[in-house]
Structure 1
Amino acid sequence: MTTLQLPVEEPQDKYLVPGLERGLRLLCEFSRKDKSLSAPELARRLDVPRSTVFRLLATLERMGFVERNDGGRDYRLGMAVLHLGFEYLASLELTEIGRPLLERLRDEIHYPCNLVVRDGRSIVYVAKSVAPTAFVSSVSVGTRLPAHATVLGRVLLEDLSLAELRELYPEERLERFSDSTPKTVLDLFHMLQEDRQRGYVLQEGFYESRISTVAAPVRDQSGRVVAALGATIPAPHIDETQLDLIVRRVRESADELSRLLDYVPEKSGGMVVNL
């Protein structure tokens, strides 16, 4: 009797390239907080010999992914990283379709409009349309902010169950950024359920004082929230007579982008229900 020999599944680690992995990990050490780092500091963080870090830096510097600070000993991210980031954003169907809608919305309400996606516990601004006003926003394309502490983040989190939220935020207390930040995951969950029922979020000073944000969800063909579309309004300049119009246009723009992404609202009892 012949015994059938099943192929042995090869370990995934077999296909990893250690040098490439170290180079990418090195690039990820740079951030808004750590804009420049020295080779010894990178060696300590990566737990690799300095000689290895020097070789990685030399390669990345030649390719333009890092550069020296005024010829000194510290390094910072180079223009090649910026180019790669913008090429990625430009490749997203979401931003290509969404940008004209943001510009139209901006022209209608005369306030900055943004499109953001979620990356783990952070939101990332992928498109922005600035209005010609005295108000200057502190965010730009690529800016990352905490999802649980921002209006746009609340929109992006609203599909998650309580169990999924607990997995994302295992800590007992959430980091506070303002008096409005939910204290616990349960507080956040209850807030998200109300947001989902309402269909949009409008709140002043949730993340940054004296700033209001109106945001609505963008869904794809699977029905999942894949982005949040919103407008930023300086609170002292809110015109109450225009607020209903702003909320309505933000929601309509988000719904239009959802339709362009092939989202079809569920039907219940002959009526269309926007979930």
Structure 2
Amino acid sequence: MGDSKKDNRHVQSIQRAMAIIETLDKYRELGVTEIAEKLGLERSTVHRILSTLKALGYINQNPTNHKYSNSFRFFEIGNNVIQSLGFRRQAMPFMQELSTKSNEAVNLAVLDGKYVIYIDKIESPATIKVDLPVGKRMPAYCTGLGKVLLAHLPEITVRELFEDEPLIRYTKNTITDIDELCQHLAKIREQGYAVDNEEYVEGLLCIAAPIWGHTKNVVAALSVALPKFRYSDDDDKIAHIRDILLDVARRFSISLGYQPPHIDS
């Protein structure tokens, strides 16, 4: 009964507008009929909503094929949210230190549902680089940053996030079973860091650590991404970068007001 009353307070037109925005985010550019078919809506309803969003500056229309796409207004809003969080400004000295010490690409990300969003990065000075652009939205279950963020959610929450769709296999190393993923996340939680060993992109190795806030919750994740060929399974070099990452992530967390648990000597 309570749930029914809550549902009745939802505004249907807003729900439909958001569904259209998310569909355009997934497919990039679609016509009115295509959107209507994918969402099971009347063509006239879709056209009316698109016209409103276009007038407000949230939707663009291609003058050649007349199809619609999301505008840069969403990027502007997202960037403002990131700036208001203060992570980029506070993180930069730590990211610069990590970049200098590792000589590899450094990334900062937050969790958005079942996805991880890159909110800042420092590129590697090397000629051959790992390019993960700011604003990139990637599946959390097969990336180092995403896994370390998922690892600090309750297991039931992780299962609910992925219950409606299968875990897609991107490489031979991608985990596609939810039970195996939950076991893997438990290990990440225990050891304090995650490794993406060519699970999303072949040839890419990523080591990620959590960033804790003053409420003792994980608020972001920091990673070092490197082309795997450059290390040739050199465990000592990889362990050295991991240790640098964990030290920097710990001090970044402390700067945010996090108090690490006391460990008796």
Provide the TM-score with structure 2 as the length reference. Answer: 0.85
Equivalent residue for 1:131, pick from 124, 133, 154: 124
- Once the two structures are superposed, the pairs formed by residues 1-275 of structure 1 within 5 Å of their partners are 11-12=5-6, 16-31=10-25, 33-170=26-163, 174-238=167-231, 240=234, 242-268=237-263, 270=264
Please state how far the C-alpha of 1:234 moved relative to its aligned partner: 0.8
Please state how far the C-alpha of 1:203 moved relative to its aligned partner: 5.0
State the SS of the aligned residue for 1:175. Answer: coil
Contact 2:107 2:222 in 1 (8 A): yes
Contact 2:118 2:137 in 1 (8 A): yes
Contact 1:162 1:186 in 2 (8 A): no
Distance in 1 of aligned mates of 2:70 and 2:100: 35
Specify whether residues 106 and 184 from structure 1 end up closer, same or farther in structure 2 by C-alpha distance, changes over 3 A only.
Answer: same
Specify whether residues 16 and 230 from structure 1 end up closer, same or farther in structure 2 by C-alpha distance, changes over 3 A only.
Answer: same
Distance in 1 of aligned mates of 2:39 and 2:196: 41
Distance in 2 of aligned mates of 1:12 and 1:204: 43
Distance in 1 of aligned mates of 2:182 and 2:97: 33
Contact 1:172 1:184 in 2 (8 A): no
Specify whether residues 202 and 55 from structure 1 end up closer, same or farther in structure 2 by C-alpha distance, changes over 3 A only.
Answer: closer
Specify whether residues 168 and 29 from structure 1 end up closer, same or farther in structure 2 by C-alpha distance, changes over 3 A only.
Answer: closer
- Whose Rg is larger? 1
Distance in 1 of aligned mates of 2:16 and 2:175: 37
Q: What letter corresponds to residue 147 of structure 1 in structure 2?
A: A
Q: What letter corresponds to residue 21 of structure 2 in structure 1?
A: L
Distance in 1 of aligned mates of 2:131 and 2:110: 18
Distance in 2 of aligned mates of 1:14 and 1:194: 42
**1:224-252 residue CA offsets vs partner (Å, 9 max, x unmatched):** 22222101111122284643432222112
Segment of structure 1 superposing worse, 134-143 or 74-83: 134-143
Q: What letter corresponds to residue 242 of structure 2 in structure 1?
A: V
Contact 2:123 2:131 in 1 (8 A): no
Please state how far the C-alpha of 1:13 moved relative to its aligned partner: 5.3
Specify every segment of 5 or more residues in structure 2 that has no aligned partner in the other structure, as ranges.
none
Please state how far the C-alpha of 1:265 moved relative to its aligned partner: 1.5
Provide the TM-score with structure 1 as the length reference. Answer: 0.82
Identity within the alignment, %:
28
Specify whether residues 204 and 61 from structure 1 end up closer, same or farther in structure 2 by C-alpha distance, changes over 3 A only.
Answer: same
Specify every segment of 5 or more residues in structure 1 that has no aligned partner in the other structure, as ranges.
1-9
**1:14-64 residue CA offsets vs partner (Å, 9 max, x unmatched):** 654443333333212112x51101112223334433333223222222222
Segment of structure 1 superposing worse, 100-109 or 225-234: 100-109
Q: What letter corresponds to residue 218 of structure 1 in structure 2?
A: I
